[in-house]
Every structure is written in C-alpha cells, then in structure tokens.
C-alpha cells in the first residue's frame, strides 16, 4: 500500500508541474496589475511599450488582486513590473503610522525604503495622483450643504454609505478616515467598487469612496467632498520594478521613464472612462494613448484586446466565442487536474482507512476542516509557498484540497458499508482480502465513490472561477472584470459557461459511473 501511495503522489506532483513552468525565460518580462481599470490600463501601456521598443517577450498577469497579492508576487519574482501608488506604499506596504509628507518627500521616502528592504525601485511618476476621495450624490450635497468631509459630522444620522472592500479595511481608508474626522455614520456597508456607483445612482446609498481619476465621475452626478483636514496621503502613480530585472535588462529604465509625466489626472480619468463607459478594450485604450504621445507608431506591435462592451447582445456573444472557448479550456484544465489529483490520493486513502477506524476519523475530520476555509483565503495561503506562487499551481492545489473530503469520505463509506455477509461469503469461497476488495467491495462501492467524485468535480468547477483573482485564468476572468466595470454581460459571459460546464462535467461523470457500475 505504501508503494502504491508513493506512486500516486509522484503522479500528482507531475500534474502540478504541468500547471506552469518553474522559472521564467531570461528574455521574458512579466507585467502585472491589480484588478481595477486604471491599474490594467497602465499595465497594458507598460507591456505594449516594452514590446514595441525591445525584443523582450512580455507576459501579462493582469487583474491579480489587491495590493499585497500583487506586491508579494513582485517580491517573489512572479511579476517584474506593475503600477502602484506612493500613498499605498506608505501606509499599506511600509505600514507607516505617521502622516505622509508632501508628494515629493513621500515618493523619495518610499523609493529609498523599497530599494533597501525589498530590492524594488520606483521609476519616474506617470504625472497624476489618484487619491482617495469621498463622493456624495450632488442633490444630497446641495440639500444638506455638504462641501467638505467635515460637513458629514452634521448629518451623520441621515446618510448611508457603501465603501469598496479594500477601502473598508485599509488604515488610509475608512478606519483612519473615521478616526481622523471623528465620523460616526449610522449606516455603512462594503461592496464592490463598480457596484457602489450603481447603488449611489439608484439612491440606495448616499456616500461612496472614489478615486480622483475615476472614469465614472464623468458619467455620474456626484460631488467630491474636499479633504479639508488633509487625511488622504498623496497617491502618485509610478511603475514598480524589481532591481534584479533592471540589472538583467537595463534598457527598461529609460524606456519606461518615457511615460513620466505623460498622464495628468484629467487624461487618466478620460482613459478610464473610455474603458468603463464606452466599452473599449484595455489594450486598445492603452495603445491609443501610446500612439497619441508618440511613444509607439501606428503599426506598433501592441496587441488588440477583446471588446468590453458596445454592440448588441448577439454581437457581444459572437465576438467572445474564441475567448470563451479559451477560458473553458483553462477552466477544464484547472478542474480536471485538481479532481484527478484528488482521485489519485483520496480513493486509495479512503480504501486504506477502512482498516483503521481511529485514523479514519482524524483524516476525514481534517479534510472537513479544509472545507470550512473560505476559498479566497485558501488561495491566499497558497501564494507564499515558493513552489506554488502566483500561478495555476496554487489554484490547482487549492481545488485539490477542496476535492479531498467528498472523495475520501464516500470511498471510506462505500467500502465500509458493503454487506458483511457478502464479504464473509467471499472469504468462505477462498478469496483473499485483496481479492475481496477488488472483486466485491470496490465494485459494490462504485456508486458511492462516484457520487463523491461528482460532488468534488462540481464544487471544483464553481470554486475555480476564483482562480482569476490570482491570475490563473479560467471563466472567473470575465466575472472579475464584469464586477469591476459593472458590466452584467461580462459577468454572465463567465457565470453561464461555468454553470453549463458544471452540468456537463456532472453528466459525463454520470456516464462513467454507469459504465463502471456492477449492474452493467
């Protein structure tokens, strides 16, 4: 049994290795971004500029997640470059409790400390500060006479607020804002940033956090309240680059510094608007900016991205068919690799546990505990593991852990509940225990075991949509982008194929179960 388990474990390791390569090619540079529009547009501009001006291959890891996810990827070498903000570096990464100084001092401080502590440097700023701001519906602002954040104290009981999830938990976000201004709002809740705009438009809430370069500010009737007590630190946008990457490719410094001060706040706001409200692809908007600034030529090699919005529903669906097929393939690989790993490990383990009641209770209990861990948290736990990192391997490992419980438990239950009289009759016929297991217990347990496999597969198809949060691909990509842009069609473009895929996988495994059933 031990040698068999070792064989299964070796096969599992080979499948995980297939998820992605261990190291980057020396001629490859990886550009990452956070999930929101501006970060994606800036990352595309960086990637396309490198592609047009060098012979380097650029790998994109767009929409990876929040600050610490992307920064951790940068530190670990999973990403070489991504755009970020000095205020975020000051309070979230460096955890400086004192107030950030003026923009120049803040930039110089974070640049020096990042180089000393992390081996990461800040290149020249893009030219805008994307500071947090508090936005209120203009009719409400006029009715209550709100022009500054301090004015909120006079009407705290009359206002409801919806804050983005990151703002809700950052010290330079809501906790610090409430403390700094002494605010005590009667109603506050967290929500996706894109959905908050729809909620404030419909009048469900009165206040939201906004960014000063939000493209949606050009569409919605909102008033930005003055930060009269200067709470929000400066958020100068700039590229972060691993110093090791600059040592390998020193030409990148000069090329990326050509973006310096090319993006005042008004221009950045307009680029965001082009994506969020006009439905232009991130890559298309970035390319237009680079061409307009004379940084690349009209026939530059920048790739054209997929359309976000615009056109009829039929045109939208047809245009996305190639993308959807690619995402389904990625989703199937994630799910298939994880479930196959779980079968290779959990079925032999479940069989082994039938002869050890004490160990079975402990193992099934531990797999049950894993099931209680929120899926996003489990994905986050995988990222710091050096061998896994920010890749498909992390997603496969997390899905594998989720798939263990139903397969182990059903295998154990199926084998244990085979009628004892049948086992004794087989033994009376002279069959050995191994033969009884192979010819009696396992065949009779097939329906129960397959029920566990089918459950694990359906769960994996659903949970695999979260792989997009770490850039692992799959049908979660359009869902994540749709939530960010408040584009229901993109959300459905991921959710509907995922639901249909779950039904197809369950139906296919049902056919396998019928084929393996002893009744056949």
pLDDT, tens digit (0-9, with 9 covering 90-100), for 97-125: 787 888 899 999 999 999 999 999 999 99
Rg of the chain in Å (alpha carbons): 27
Instruction: Determine the pLDDT at residue 196.
Output: 83
Beta bridge partners of 398: none
Out of 3.40.228.10, 3.40.190.10, 3.20.20.70, 3.10.560.10, the CATH code matching 25-128+235-305 is: 3.40.190.10
Residues in the chain predicted with pLDDT less than 70, given as ranges, are: 1-26, 186, 299-317, 383, 386, 389-391, 484-486, 518-520
DSSP string computed for 342-357 = HHHHHHHHHHHHTT-H
**For residue 171, what pLDDT is reported?**
73
Cβ proximity of 491 and 482 under 8 Å? yes
pLDDT at 82: 96
Domain limits, the chain: 25-128+235-305, 132-225, 321-516
State the pLDDT at residue 54: 92
Residues 6 or more apart whose CB falls under 8 angstroms from that of 436 comprise: 423, 426, 427
| Same fold across 25-128+235-305 and 321-516 | no
Domain 321-516 falls under CATH 1.10.3720.10: yes
Q: Where are the beta strands (DSSP E) in 115-202?
A: 120-122, 132-137, 160-164, 187-191
Per-residue pLDDT, 279: 80
| DSSP assignment letter at 212 | T
Q: Beta strands 187-191 and 160-164: pairing type?
A: parallel
pLDDT at res. 310: 54
User: Which pLDDT belongs to residue 315?
Assistant: 65
Q: What is the reported pLDDT for 14?
A: 44
User: Looking at the domain 132-225, which fold is it?
Assistant: D-Maltodextrin-Binding Protein; domain 2 (3.40.190)
């Amino acid at each position: 049994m031990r040698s068999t388990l070792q064989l299964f474990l070796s096969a599992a390791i080979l499948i995980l290795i297939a998820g992605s390569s261990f190291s980057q090619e020396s001629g490859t540079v990886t550009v990452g971004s956070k999930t929101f529009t501006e970060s994606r547009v800036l990352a595309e501009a960086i990637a396309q500029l490198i592609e047009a001006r060098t012979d380097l291959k650029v790998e994109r890891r767009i929409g990876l997640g929040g600050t610490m996810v992307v920064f951790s990827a940068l530190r670990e070498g999973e990403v070489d470059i991504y755009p970020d903000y000095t205020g975020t570096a000051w309070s979230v990464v460096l955890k400086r409790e004192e107030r950030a100084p003026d923009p120049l001092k803040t930039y110089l401080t974070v640049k020096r400390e990042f180089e000393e502590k992390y081996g990461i440097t800040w290149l020249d700023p893009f030219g805008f500060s994307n500071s947090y701001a508090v936005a209120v519906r203009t009719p409400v602002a006029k009715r209550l006479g709100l022009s500054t954040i301090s004015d909120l104290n006079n009407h705290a009981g009359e206002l409801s607020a919806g804050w983005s999830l990151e703002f809700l938990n950052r010290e330079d976000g809501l906790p610090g804002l409430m403390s700094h201004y002494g605010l005590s709002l009667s109603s506050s809740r967290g929500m996706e940033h894109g959905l908050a705009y729809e909620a404030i438009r419909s009048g469900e809430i009165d206040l939201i956090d906004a960014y000063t370069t939000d493209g949606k500010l050009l569409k919605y009737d909102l008033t930005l309240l003055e930060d009269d007590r200067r709470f929000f630190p400066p958020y100068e946008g700039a590229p972060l680059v691993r110093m090791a990457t600059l040592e390998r490719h020193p030409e990148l410094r000069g090329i990326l510094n050509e973006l310096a001060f090319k993006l005042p706040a008004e221009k950045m706001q307009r680029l965001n608007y082009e994506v969020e409200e006009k439905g232009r692809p991130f890559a298309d908007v970035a390319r237009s900016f680079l061409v307009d600034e004379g940084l690349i030529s009209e026939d530059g090699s920048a790739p054209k991205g997929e359309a976000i919005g615009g056109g009829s529903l039929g045109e939208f669906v047809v245009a996305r068919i190639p993308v959807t097929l690619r995402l389904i393939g990625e989703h199937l690989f994630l799910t298939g690799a994880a479930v196959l790993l779980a079968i290779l490990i959990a079925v032999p383990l479940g069989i082994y546990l039938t002869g050890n009641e004490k160990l079975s209770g402990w193992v099934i209990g531990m797999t049950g505990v894993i099931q209680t861990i929120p899926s996003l948290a489990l994905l986050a736990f995988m990222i710091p593991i050096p061998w896994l990192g920010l890749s498909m391997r992390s997603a496969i490992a997390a899905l594998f852990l989720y798939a263990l419980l139903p397969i182990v438990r059903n295998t154990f239950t199926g084998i244990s509940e085979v009628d004892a009289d049948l086992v004794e009759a087989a033994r009376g016929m002279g069959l050995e225990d191994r033969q009884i297991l192979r010819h009696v217990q396992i065949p009779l347990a097939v329906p129960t075991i397959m029920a566990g496999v089918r459950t694990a597969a359906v769960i994996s198809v659903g949970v695999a949509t979260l792989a997009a949060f770490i850039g692992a691909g799959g049908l979660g990509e359009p869902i994540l982008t749709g939530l960010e842009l408040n584009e229901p069609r993109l959300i459905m473009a991921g959710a509907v194929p995922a639901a249909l895929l779950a039904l197809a996988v369950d139906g296919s495994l049902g056919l396998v179960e019928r084929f393996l059933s002893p009744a056949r």
